[in-house]
Structure 1
Amino acid sequence: MLAAMTTFASRLTRQPLPYEPDAAVDVAASFADLDPALAGLLGATAGCSPYLRGLMVREGAWLREALSQAPEAALDGILDPLGDLPLAALGDGLRIAKRRTALLTALADLGGVWPLETVTSALTRLADRATDLALKRLVADEIRRGKLPGATTEDAETAGGMVALAMGKMGAGELNYSSDIDLVCLFDETRYPGQQQEARAAFIRVTRRMTALLSDLTAEGYVFRTDLRLRPDAAVTPVCLSMAAAESYYESVGRTWERAAYIKARPCGGDLAAGERFLKALVPFVWRKHLDFVAIQDAHDMRLRIRDHRGLHGPVVIEGHDMKLGVGGIREIEFFTQTRQLIAGGRDPGLRDRTTVGGLRALSAAGWIPADVTEELIDHYRAHREVEHRLQMVQDAQTHTMPTSAEGVDRIAAFCGRTPEAFRTLLRDRLERVDRLTEGFFAPGAAEKGPELSARARDIVEGWASYPAFRSQRAVEIFRRLRPQILKSLARAANPDEALAAFDGFLGGLPAGVQIFALFDANPPLVDLIADICATSPKLARYLSRNASVLDAVIGGGFFTHWPGTPALVRELTDRLAELPDYERKLDAARRWMKEWHFRVGVHHLRGLIDAFEAAKEYADLAEAVVVALWPVVCEEFARKHGPQPGRGAVVLGMGSLGAGRLNAGSDLDLIVIHDAQGQEESEGPRPLGARPYFARLTQAMVTALTAPMAEGRLYEVDMRLRPSGRQGPVATALASFRSYQREEAWTWEHLALTRARPLAGNPDLAGEIEALRREILSEKAVAARVLPDVADMRRRLAEAKPPGGPWEAKNGAGRLMDVELLAETAALLAGDPARRVEQQLRAGVRSGFLTAACEADLLAAYRLCWRLQAGSRLLSEGTLDFENLGEGGRAFLLREVEAPDAEALLARLQERVTAAAARIDARLGPETGTEEGEGDRAAG
């Protein structure tokens, strides 16, 4: 308390030596009105740091007032008013606060007013304040715009359940002078039951906006460079994820370095209580109950990798030495401390101190480190951190590296208040002493050669030499380097034997190995990705062996970014096709492009970055983009021979699941084509065609463009049986014929199909007229006395034609996907409602009185569970779901997708929900009376 009441000048104990005397004299003279000791400190500081000299000029008036107080009061005066700033003013306000805090803490540090821990604590206080205010203001803005489901203005005080965890030096309160802030952003998903995806999307936006608010350089400067890469599996996860997802990751695949990172983790912004609950749940991951000596080898390997990557081996040379990562540097002391904490902290909670100095003292008190070694390391640590701060103060640079010139080193020596010779001698002695104190602890063991293999595994591995991928010596040489890492990655799978067998299938399917192995060699994370795929989805692994080129997209930089949406996908594919002059090359390029995006959706779903419903939308967006971008290419190629489309041309409609915007990994495309020649009898081109044959052949050309097997495979299977008169009708239908058919001839099942029809590509005016006609017909045909008996009979025929394939069946059978979809379409038809998706169709049924809210709830519960099972199983295998034969990784994926603890619980839930849904459907459709010849057969088809 006494220190807080005394003035800045009264507490000065040291100052730098001015490296640029003239600058020092000028600045001291400009502050001659201050206490001479303060003016001397300001001058000496300005003589060493151009950056701080500039801040003194810019903030002169504020600085005079600040230095007249105790530094603690001056810091409060910077930080406290920030809470009154609205969002629009927060960015500039934080930037002004940042430069004032930087100047104040620098002078308190250089003048010996504050010890190291107080300096780093002050910098961390600013980071905490900035993060907390940014999160709360941005979440409040999401709530104001109605983007955070169910949240009220009061929820902004806890950031709607979102929390930022401070990691690394920020978490420990040890930020350096020009530090990044490492954050992990999470949200409490329990606050958003049934609405987690909408909430996650809002919190991802908040995180991105927060990063920009803090990191962007403006006329007022920047606040903090923000690094989000310490989150779980950062290469593939969104910037903000649920606490449940993060906890699941750490429990299953968390690594030693992540455990070390969480020693320092601390909630710093947003919902601090939720953050504390999350960290409490993570205690078993970070702090193992047994003495964890494996952490020593992991930490040693990490040190060596850092040194190898940065070329930091060899004797200490002052010029260019890395004070953080180099020999005897700061990181050596941190690793030395954290590794011991990991070894023993599970049994001794007293060792779980976030700070480096506190951790060393706790270890010493517990007998893990001799007291004299502890105090010596603390002394070296503090001295290293002060040198690091002065390196950064010169130009506000994010650096830990000594200058490479003698003059540069001399400046740092002066900044530290020492002559060059004394500084060099002392620094070299400290670095070499830290190296000696820490190196013995990290003595490496035997080099790892990969896991021991069982006899069956050895047989598989030995058989690889005969595969086509190993025909060239170059492939063999590259793979020899990769093999230990591959086997180690596979050994981490839930069932290593299953993963190895799937990887064997992947290798066996490769036509050649050099390119793919070289890709793995240059991008080691790909090996882990392949291992994950093999451990979960042998089907996707086989797909990858036939389409290995899709991995190019993984290393292209955007593979794990947010989903772009249909318009952006259409633009991207259109631009790519426009670059190619040849029609067949366009079709091949479309195939390759689609497969890259299709693979991306599958990987994101497999890794839990998106769920089955997000994947369904993305697959549908992708299919729509292909149709929209490819249709004009096909039309242009066709017009080259036969002239432009007669009249208003044609429109491609998506039907079924495509029309509803919800596909799975194996879906085909239901399409129909409607045209309007407006009385034009034939086309005008080199080889004219009559209007009907023109559109029929154009439609066939489009189907061929989508389905033909080419060098890059095929795009999609296409089903056109939902057109008027099914297989017997023309492949393209005139608008007038379509109108009269729907009103006079169509069967009830065709009107049901119309509930999900959606124009995708073609003439916009014609598309609008078709949509208007669709809505008219739905209203006209909403006759319950006719519809309900027809649907009941249709349901009976479907049940006979497609019975359930077993207890795990999700698609066919009473109360399952097709059954619920049938009732949803019926509800939309009876309500004359244009809704296309199951959820909106059922809601229309409630509004019309056809369904009750309780009925809707039971149907949706069954539908959602069945969709998750169906979509997940189609990613893993072909045909009906056989849970027991999926493999351990596949079963774990499905259980995670549906949030079930085990297979028995999932099966019980499935039976319970489909039984309830079937009862609801039985009650709505009534007795199976009335039929129209052929309708059940065609509906079943």
Structure 2
Amino acid sequence: MQELRRRVAYYPFDLRHRPARARAAVDRPAARGHCGAMTDFASRITRQPLPYDPAPAAEIAAAFRDLPPEVSGLLAATAGCSPFLRGLMLREPDWLRAALSVAPEAAVAAVLDPLDQVPLADLGAGLRIAKRRVALFTALADLGGVWPLEMVTGALTRLADRAVDLSMKRLVADEIRRGKLPGARAEDAETAGGMVALAMGKMGAGELNYSSDIDLVCLFDETRYPGEEHEARAAFIRVTRRMTAMLSDLTAEGYVFRTDLRLRPDAAVTPVCLSMAAAESYYESVGRTWERAAYIKARPCGGDLAAGARFLQTLTPFVWRKHLDFVAIQDAHDMRLRIRDHRGLHGPVVIEGHDMKLGVGGIREIEFFTQTRQLIAGGRDPSLRDRTTVGGLRALAASGWVPPEVSDELIDHYRAHREVEHRLQMVQDAQTHEMPASAAAVDRIASFCGLTPEAFRATLHDRLARVDRLTEGFFAPGAAETGPDLSDHARAIVDGWASYPALRSQRAVTIFNRLRPQILKSLARAGNADEALAAFDGFLAGLPSGVQIFALFDANPPLVDLIADICATSPKLALYLSRNSGVLDAVIGGFFFAPWPGVGALSAELAARLTEIGDYERRLDGARRWMKEWHFRIGVHHLRGLIDAFEASKQYADLAEAVVVALWPVVSEEFARKHGPAPGRGAVVLGMGSLGAGRLNAGSDLDLIVIHDAQGQEASDGPRPLAARPYFARVTQALVTALTAPMAEGRLYEVDMRLRPSGRQGPVATALESFESYQRDEAWTWEHLALTRARPLVGDPSLAAEIETLRRLILTDKAVPARVLPDVADMRRRLAEAKPATGEWEAKNGPGRLMDIELLAQTAALLAGDPARRVEQQLRAGVKSGFLSAADETALLAAYRLCWRLQAGSRLLSEGQVDPSRLGEGGCAFLLREVEAPSPEALSTRLAAVVAEAETRISARLGAASDTVTKESGRAAE
């Protein structure tokens, strides 16, 4: 016996202390399995247990002394710890010798492959023999370090899959043979007549433990039995019961797998097999969080696998919510507590009797931690939808939801816990997760793990405690802080919160009561605490419900500070948040503070997201959710000084362009489905005005026109063909509707198409030849000015290039000062009358302000025949052509930049013109920072000076006709 013990290599339970070869087997299971296929079992042994019971160890050593020493040593040490495995060795000695002489993967395949030929009458016995052999072999591969955990559980899962699939198909074939499945033919048995078993839990994830039962949900595709669903269901119920008996019943050959069907919908009252329609209806109406978590791992494993995959696809919206779902944390926490209460698992960790699965720091803690995070974010990030625990943790770390070091540590603990779980079950093939109640029996498990009792206890205790620390803070809500003292006015506001819709449910109240002290502290830190509290009150009053967003705040405390910052600065943005709280998902989605992606990446991202959505209306809603998240990001970055007004304006324009670029193909495709593809080259959507110039603010609408070229094709070719002109008019209107229609997620943008030929009276879409003719022969000067900022956004590339060429030619042809200057002067007069300056900090309307400067810049571009679209480049073109002086350019740019910063900042704070006296401290501080002014008075003085200088230079350049404008503006000001 001493000799045997000397031959047993000592490999500590802690994976990090294993030899490099063993660690590689764990860290790279796929590579290890591939390379190992070329070697036999003996050459891959890296560890073995310490034999706890000398007598059976010696017996097995003698029985298998013909095997290589490392193999016979492993068998002996295993027998010294497990009476069950010792019995299997003695029952299958010849088979075991043969299996141990080949590559381990080939040995398991040699057990599973012949099952395909076993007839139904012998299938039960054949599966039991296969189970016995796979159980013995995987145990030895596990104990010897031949396979890492994933390959051990994978082999057990492959056996379960084969058993379910074969038994289901053979039993369905028997129902068909007896004429019990209506309308089915013999070949339908290959798809089990539309019946499928979904593997749930560990089986679905390929993670079956050593003595695991299997959780199945059995369904059938009712669409294959129109009018005969009742008879089909009766047959499938019989199949399910017979299959369960075949797998679960204990015979002289043992059993295959204990089978649990209780994860099906409403198991207490539903049959063991039900239709997919009935199951889908249940989950859509009353499905609970724990059922969503269960379906993370769900996988078709037997029968009609394609039908099973289609069913799981229909459940995607149920399992993976479109918004970040932090309510799942509270649900998981409540579930953990209920399990612990039911099992009496509270209290300090004591090794004897500790439940490795459900107890403190156990396997279920790691699984809950992983699955809950997956539920929170997996609806938005499909990369998180990994069925396995290890894969899920790695995906969460890759996406920034879990720190990589925490993920790595939990993976290490998870694998180690699963190994202990396997040793517990291997002793007597018991479906147990509990450590033995006696110290002597715990010592046996220590030996099974290759450790002394003292080392095993210390290592296991440390692991359990560490898992508890890593996971408990995520699940358990912290104790509420003490909030700040409130004034009577503030107390009255806070007391009124109880009546708001967001606090109707007790669950919302419970979460919010934990949050309220932190919220009030954050608001109190604002420079204008009363204003911040009032804005938060407006935000809270506007929330239609509160559980989701309060859970979001509870799990992400920095969001509370962000909300307080927004409330202290921009009540408008706070109100926007109350109506679109889903945009906060983006803040914690991992990319909120990443560099701006640009219009190309944005349009590609939106297009990809819309491609994943089948329904047209849902695509439009999906576009709205996506746009609002990015729009909110720009506003927050601007508000917090991460970008300035000009960077924000470019980003708003990029976002709008990306929406149009991604939506136009969706609209066109939907329209073509009814009326056929667009005639000829189709159409091009042009951005006009500020969108064409690539500079929008937070409240900008979109100026668009559509130009088409049917190339002589009179009508479309589709189910309901349309003549070319009404075709393009209607598809253009469809685009406008797609952008402007109020839907569940609101609207995207307001759209203005008045810059098309003939304005409101003209057709909404214009033929290319008509557009050219109109621009050359009929268009007014203001329309040529508008053309200076026109830019093709999306459509046929050759048509877009032709339109751009035409734009440049027209600008060159229409550069006639004698006509342009009087027209512009008259236009300027009309604008001054229609839209005078209305406030001290007016930035847009009035002489010397944005519209006035933009009008002059467009005039300069037109007179120069220059294609530049932005104000800066247009003014530069005016200098080059001699229309403007360098001093003009400097003065006009100074006024333009100040006015733009003021306008862009104002539109983030308010829908209309800001009033300095009512702006509030936070908003005022933001604007002063944006324009780099030390005080409101300094801003007013500087604005008046630069606007006056700009007005003087504009009037001088537009000639005598502008003198009237100056006089009339002066009288209006008086």
TM-score normalized with structure 2 length? 0.50
Report the CA distance between 1:448 and its aligned residue.
5.7
Letter in 2 for 1:538: P
Deviation string 1:121-174 (CA, Å, 9 cap, x unpaired) is xxxxxxxxxxxxxxxxxxxxxxxxxxxxxxxxxxxxxxxxxxxxxxxxxxxxxx
Letter in 2 for 1:467: Y
Deviation string 1:46-85 (CA, Å, 9 cap, x unpaired) is xxx99xxxxxxxxxxxxxxxxxxxxxxxxxxxxxxxxxxx
Letter in 2 for 1:542: L
Of 671, 677, 699, the residue aligned with 2:704 is 671
Report the CA distance between 1:615 and its aligned residue.
0.4
**Structure 2 counterparts to residues 52-67 of structure 1, below 5 A:** none
Report the CA distance between 1:447 and its aligned residue.
9.9
**2-side partners of 1:891 and 1:584: how far apart?**
41
**Structure 2 counterparts to residues 154-303 of structure 1, below 5 A:** none
Distance 1:578 1:448, change over 3 A: closer
**1-side partners of 2:912 and 2:493: how far apart?**
28
**1-side partners of 2:731 and 2:916: how far apart?**
43
Deviation string 1:638-688 (CA, Å, 9 cap, x unpaired) is 001111000110000000000000000000000000000011111111111
Letter in 1 for 2:784: H
**Structure 2 contact 686–792 (Cα < 8 Å) conserved:** yes
Larger radius of gyration, structure 1 or 2? 2
Of 912, 925, 945, the residue aligned with 1:879 is 912
For residue 148 of structure 1, what is the aligned residue in structure 2? none
**1-side partners of 2:528 and 2:505: how far apart?**
31
For residue 736 of structure 1, what is the aligned residue in structure 2? 769
Report the CA distance between 1:806 and its aligned residue.
1.5
Q: Secondary structure of 1:928's partner?
A: helix
Of 888, 905, 912, the residue aligned with 2:945 is 912
**Structure 2 counterparts to residues 323-338 of structure 1, below 5 A:** none
Of 867, 885, 892, the residue aligned with 1:852 is 885
**Structure 2 gap segments, 5+ residues each:** 1-18, 21-347, 349-405, 417-478, 965-974
Letter in 1 for 2:846: G
**Structure 2 counterparts to residues 645-684 of structure 1, below 5 A:** 645-684=678-717
**2-side partners of 1:448 and 1:575: how far apart?**
44
Q: Does residue 1:562 correspond to 2:592, yes or no?
A: no
Report the CA distance between 1:886 and its aligned residue.
1.3
**Structure 1 contact 790–929 (Cα < 8 Å) conserved:** no
**Structure 2 contact 481–514 (Cα < 8 Å) conserved:** no
**2-side partners of 1:610 and 1:729: how far apart?**
40
Q: Post-superposition, which runs of at least 4 consecutive aligned residues in structure 1 deviate over 6 A?
A: none
For residue 232 of structure 2, what is the aligned residue in structure 1? none
Q: Secondary structure of 2:961's partner?
A: coil
For residue 537 of structure 1, what is the aligned residue in structure 2? 570
Q: Does residue 1:527 correspond to 2:550, yes or no?
A: no
For residue 742 of structure 2, what is the aligned residue in structure 1? 709
Report the CA distance between 1:865 and its aligned residue.
0.4
Of 783, 799, 806, the residue aligned with 1:766 is 799
For residue 924 of structure 2, what is the aligned residue in structure 1? 891
For residue 625 of structure 2, what is the aligned residue in structure 1? 592
**Structure 2 contact 583–632 (Cα < 8 Å) conserved:** yes
Letter in 2 for 1:656: G
Report the CA distance between 1:884 and its aligned residue.
1.8
Report the CA distance between 1:808 and its aligned residue.
1.0
**Structure 1 contact 590–626 (Cα < 8 Å) conserved:** yes
**Structure 1 contact 706–718 (Cα < 8 Å) conserved:** yes
Deviation string 1:607-638 (CA, Å, 9 cap, x unpaired) is 00000000000000000000000000000000
**Structure 1 contact 793–930 (Cα < 8 Å) conserved:** no
**1-side partners of 2:766 and 2:527: how far apart?**
53
**1-side partners of 2:911 and 2:961: how far apart?**
33
Report the CA distance between 1:930 and its aligned residue.
13
For residue 870 of structure 2, what is the aligned residue in structure 1? 837
Distance 1:499 1:930, change over 3 A: closer
For residue 606 of structure 2, what is the aligned residue in structure 1? 573
Report the CA distance between 1:857 and its aligned residue.
0.5
Q: Secondary structure of 2:898's partner?
A: helix
For residue 611 of structure 1, what is the aligned residue in structure 2? 644
For residue 233 of structure 1, what is the aligned residue in structure 2? none
**1-side partners of 2:480 and 2:558: how far apart?**
21
Report the CA distance between 1:929 and its aligned residue.
8.0
**1-side partners of 2:481 and 2:760: how far apart?**
63
**2-side partners of 1:600 and 1:783: how far apart?**
45
**Structure 1 contact 506–544 (Cα < 8 Å) conserved:** yes
**Structure 1 contact 470–512 (Cα < 8 Å) conserved:** yes
**Structure 2 contact 480–517 (Cα < 8 Å) conserved:** no
**2-side partners of 1:666 and 1:757: how far apart?**
20
**1-side partners of 2:900 and 2:514: how far apart?**
42
Of 780, 783, 802, the residue aligned with 1:747 is 780
Distance 1:524 1:930, change over 3 A: closer
Letter in 2 for 1:908: T
Q: Secondary structure of 1:568's partner?
A: helix
**1-side partners of 2:962 and 2:509: how far apart?**
69
Letter in 2 for 1:672: I
**2-side partners of 1:598 and 1:606: how far apart?**
12
Letter in 2 for 1:737: S
**Structure 2 counterparts to residues 32-71 of structure 1, below 5 A:** none
**1-side partners of 2:574 and 2:916: how far apart?**
19
**1-side partners of 2:591 and 2:772: how far apart?**
45
Q: Secondary structure of 2:792's partner?
A: strand
Query: Identity of aligned pairs, percent?
Result: 81
Q: Secondary structure of 1:652's partner?
A: strand
Report the CA distance between 1:928 and its aligned residue.
1.7
Report the CA distance between 1:881 and its aligned residue.
1.9
Report the CA distance between 1:878 and its aligned residue.
1.1
For residue 754 of structure 2, what is the aligned residue in structure 1? 721
**1-side partners of 2:899 and 2:548: how far apart?**
40
For residue 731 of structure 2, what is the aligned residue in structure 1? 698
**2-side partners of 1:584 and 1:723: how far apart?**
28
Letter in 1 for 2:770: S
**Structure 1 contact 789–930 (Cα < 8 Å) conserved:** no
**Structure 1 contact 478–521 (Cα < 8 Å) conserved:** yes
For residue 456 of structure 1, what is the aligned residue in structure 2? 489
Give the length in aligned residue pairs.
504
**2-side partners of 1:631 and 1:781: how far apart?**
32
**Structure 1 contact 870–881 (Cα < 8 Å) conserved:** no
Q: Does residue 1:546 correspond to 2:579, yes or no?
A: yes
Q: Secondary structure of 2:658's partner?
A: helix
For residue 199 of structure 1, what is the aligned residue in structure 2? none
**Structure 2 counterparts to residues 362-377 of structure 1, below 5 A:** none
**1-side partners of 2:906 and 2:935: how far apart?**
16
**2-side partners of 1:455 and 1:509: how far apart?**
23
Q: Secondary structure of 1:665's partner?
A: coil
**1-side partners of 2:962 and 2:634: how far apart?**
44
**Structure 2 contact 685–794 (Cα < 8 Å) conserved:** yes
**1-side partners of 2:962 and 2:541: how far apart?**
55
**2-side partners of 1:728 and 1:788: how far apart?**
26
Report the CA distance between 1:803 and its aligned residue.
0.5
Report the CA distance between 1:604 and its aligned residue.
0.4
Q: Does residue 1:636 correspond to 2:669, yes or no?
A: yes
**2-side partners of 1:638 and 1:869: how far apart?**
42
Q: Secondary structure of 1:507's partner?
A: helix
**Structure 1 contact 616–662 (Cα < 8 Å) conserved:** yes
**Structure 2 contact 480–514 (Cα < 8 Å) conserved:** no
For residue 789 of structure 2, what is the aligned residue in structure 1? 756
Report the CA distance between 1:451 and its aligned residue.
1.1
For residue 534 of structure 2, what is the aligned residue in structure 1? 501
Distance 1:447 1:464, change over 3 A: closer
